[in-house]
Chains A and B, each alone.
Chain A
Amino acid sequence: MSEIIKNGQIHADEWTVLRLAEGDDAATVALPAGRVIVPLAVWLARRETLAAHADAGVLGVWLAGSDDPASIESDLSRLQLIAVDFPKFADGRGYSIAALLRSRYGYGGELRAIGDVLRDQFFYLTRCGFDSLQPAAGKYTTAQLEAALASLRTFSEPYQGAVDRPEPLFRRQPRPAAQKAQA
């Protein structure tokens, strides 16, 4: 069982992320017991049989950076957990995927960052709509993860709007004009 950050707090996590190994067939690969997050390919291949698991809240779907979130648009209301994979933390496609899921497609369930998820990206990830952050197993000790919670509040009033605060600073706060200096 690993620890994740969810809604700004540390939680023990029960979900297993299924990753296809070379030669695995999305249509037939065995699913681990318990709560499982399956790759998009598995969901698309077995939607009919997996729908009940999703409805029961024990099956989620993860997207890779190359996946189009539009491909699960019609499933969003039944999925209680969607994850986006970061194969490397510097691969930033997941930020746009999260922003699209939240703001374009109106996804309201748990949105989790998985893969190479590091504390120095927590602030940007939550701004783009991730409410749960799952660093790789063993990446951080509990104490390090507790220290990392501060990263969620690095900037108190960011300039631009994003998923967490859709309005930009100039709409959120009254900012003062200045008086002209005289020559």
Chain B
Amino acid sequence: MYQYDEYDQRIVDERVAQYADQTARYLAGELSEDEFRPLRLQNGLYIQRHAPMLRIAVPYGNLRAEQLRMFAHIARKYDRGYGHFTTRQNLQFNWPKLEHVPEILGLLASVQMHAIQTSGNCIRNVTSDPFAGVAADEYIDPRPWCEIVRQWSTFHPEFAYLPRKFKIAVNGATDDRAAIQIHDIGLELKRDAAGNIGFRVLVGGGLGRTPILGEEVASFVPWQQILNYCEAVLRVYNLHGRRDNAYKARIKILVKALGVEEFARQVEAEFVHLKDGPSTLTQAEIDRVASRFDDPVLAPLAADEGYRARLADDKAFANWAKRNVRPHKLSGYASVVLSLKTAGIAPGDITADQFDAVADLSERYAQGEVRVLHEQNLAFASVREADLFELWQQLRDVGLATPNIGLLTDIISCPGGDFCSLANAKSIPIALAIQDRFDDLDYLHDIGELELNISGCMNACGHHHVGHIGVLGVDKNGEEWYQVTIGGAQGNGASLGKVIGPSFAAAEMPDVVESLIRSFVDNRKEDESFIDTVRRIGIEPFKTRVYAERDARKQERSPAHV
């Protein structure tokens, strides 16, 4: 992964000093709440339900062992012994004290980490494909481009006080694993007919209160110009995005109000002045940034016979390999997903001991490198096939080998009302109740690919709109209710789910999901997946079944039933 040079290090060190001074002035009463809020938010610090919450940037989901050990240390010393991976590849601590944060940021800086711009109305942490550099379907490695965007956007003086938050994602593989259609700017790496690298630029995607998929504003921006082009987009947004209503302040609302053609025209009018300016990238800079990724040099290996033999005679191992092991671009290697979706544990949560264990295992089997998935799991990018069985056994010992990646219990969930002060309803207990109901592994594997996403409010941190099954917590007269959508999807064929009808009480949710699954199993053709069945037959059959079975349950419980 990317190794800092002296300039990168100096910038994070200077940030720690700046924030320590700001915190001291706040505690001394020299900075008001309103003045301090954006300063702490741009350092990832929220004031939450129980305590502050600190969100640490994991740039495009890349971590190494020493950084995980630092998370373990911070979790033990400043938190309650655990951390939480988010749907944007970041890490959150739920219990730090505000006055300890400068100290924590100092510790993070010592391992080339920070919390810069992980919140606030600025350009947020850039996200990307967690399997960048190793995926079999990758055509251009997005990581150097992500790092270039990270550096450009870090403390960009013109764009620190935007109308609203601003998220950028980059993808360079056939499969879009970076969800570029639901970002403020989605960058798709591509080549023109002559083989030159450039970017297709999508703008105005986002979930939240008004879910919208991004639209193309440029079909090909040459790589040399990509920062100039992004600057043009940001400037149009900064000057013309709405500032009168936070719910209408995202760039997607501006794009919709102007129409994508007019928006693109305004960007182009700005871009002509910036094009070929000082921010134009050079081949030397691209090469330099790429050289600072200390990827191990791996030689292809023969396919491992021992691994294949184990698959044939160990069903538990085969189940895990089927779900949690992914193809690698080199023969003899695989990528391994570590599930943070174990029954009884909040999705994305990880203990201090697990941080340490993952660090140790990454050094033993994966060159000390760890990736974070926006589905709130971890991955080792490059593991030798010959090591997979041993790795699986050791992952099992530390509770990170649940064979459920991409299945119903691999639930994506925001922290919800248990932690978040924005939430209308709790998310985690719903996730745990559904996981508890679907605890039969054979049945889960039979149901197949299914993404279930839960958000505790309209802000949609759990990306419920793009879940095959989406669950949204809503407040009805002070009570927590849940609205269900089906038919959403992330990735290349992204779509927004449709609401099936009136919302449900928390206790009903496992039954509701069960009705949806039964309806799917009855209607599916051969090995069709849930989302494909929904797309083929529409939501009606699902809706009818869910509410009919709900009525039947009510009848059964009703004392008036004679």
Contact = CB atoms under 8 A, between A and B. Distances in A.
Given A90-B38, A154-B18, A183 B296 contact: yes
Contacts of B30: 144
B129 to A, nearest CB: 22
A89 interface: yes
Interface string B120-159: 0100000000000000000000000000000111111111
Given A91-B243, A155-B155, A180-B295, 10 more contacts: A96-B235, A118-B35, A158-B11, A159-B11, A160-B227, A170-B282, A175-B5, A177-B287, A177-B288, A181-B294
B297 A173 contact: no
Interface string A118-162: 101101110110000000000000001000000000111111111
Nearest to A159: B151
B328 to A, nearest CB: 14
A125 B396 CA distance: 53
12 contacts: A96-B238, A155-B14, A159-B154, A160-B153, A160-B279, A161-B278, A171-B278, A173-B7, A175-B5, A175-B7, A180-B295, A181-B295
B292 A120 contact: no
A102 to B, nearest CB: 11
A160 B296 CA distance: 30
B294 A178 contact: yes
Interface string A84-111: 0000011111011101000010000000
Contacts of B11: 155, 157-159
Given A124-B160, A178-B292, A89 B35 contact: yes
A92 B160 CA distance: 7
Contacts of B535: none
Contacts of A96: 158, 235, 238-239
Interface string B280-314: 00100101100110111110000000000000000
Interface in B182-238: 227, 235, 238
A161 B39 contact: no
A31 to B, nearest CB: 29
B279 A127 contact: no
Contacts of A91: 161, 243
A154 B21 CA distance: 11
B10 interface: yes
A99 B292 contact: no
A70 B31 CA distance: 36
B22 interface: yes
Nearest to B281: A170
Contact of B297 (A90, A169, A180): A180
Nearest to A153: B14
Nearest to B282: A170
Interface of B: 3, 5, 7, 10-11, 14-15, 18, 22, 30-31, 35, 38-39, 121, 151-162, 227, 235, 238-239, 243, 273, 277-279, 282, 285, 287-288, 291-292, 294-298, 367
Contacts of B367: 183
Contact of A95 (B35, B238, B273, B279): B238
Contacts of A125: 157
A159 B20 CA distance: 22
Interface in A37-53: none
A57 to B, nearest CB: 29
A104 B273 contact: yes
Contacts of B10: 156-157
Contacts, number: 127
B158 A90 contact: no
A92 B298 CA distance: 47
Given A156-B14, A170-B288, A182 B297 contact: yes
B288 A92 contact: no
A128 B155 contact: no
Contacts of B151: 159-160, 169
A92 B5 contact: no
A178 B152 contact: no
A180 B296 CA distance: 8
A175 B252 CA distance: 37
A166 interface: yes
Interface in A70-92: 89-92
A23 interface: no
- Of B235, B243, B297, the most chain A CB neighbours within 10 A belong to B243
A34 interface: no
Nearest to A99: B158
Contacts of A181: 294-297
B161 A123 contact: no
B5 A162 contact: no
Contacts of B277: 161, 166
B377 to A, nearest CB: 25
B299 to A, nearest CB: 8
B291 A159 contact: no
A32 interface: no
Contacts of A158: 11, 155, 157
A120 B39 contact: yes
A157 to B, nearest CB: 5
B286 to A, nearest CB: 10
Contacts of B243: 65, 91, 93
A12 to B, nearest CB: 23
Contact of A120 (B7, B35, B282): B35
A162 B15 CA distance: 19
A89 B3 CA distance: 35
A154 B14 contact: yes
Contact of B152 (A65, A120, A160, A167): A160
A32 B159 CA distance: 35
Contacts of A167: 278
A65 B38 CA distance: 19
A183 B382 CA distance: 11
A84 B15 CA distance: 27
B152 to A, nearest CB: 5
Contacts of B35: 89, 118, 120
B246 to A, nearest CB: 11
A176 B289 CA distance: 9
A99 B285 CA distance: 25
Contact of B294 (A65, A123, A160, A180): A180
A168 interface: yes
A154 B31 CA distance: 18
B298 A183 contact: yes
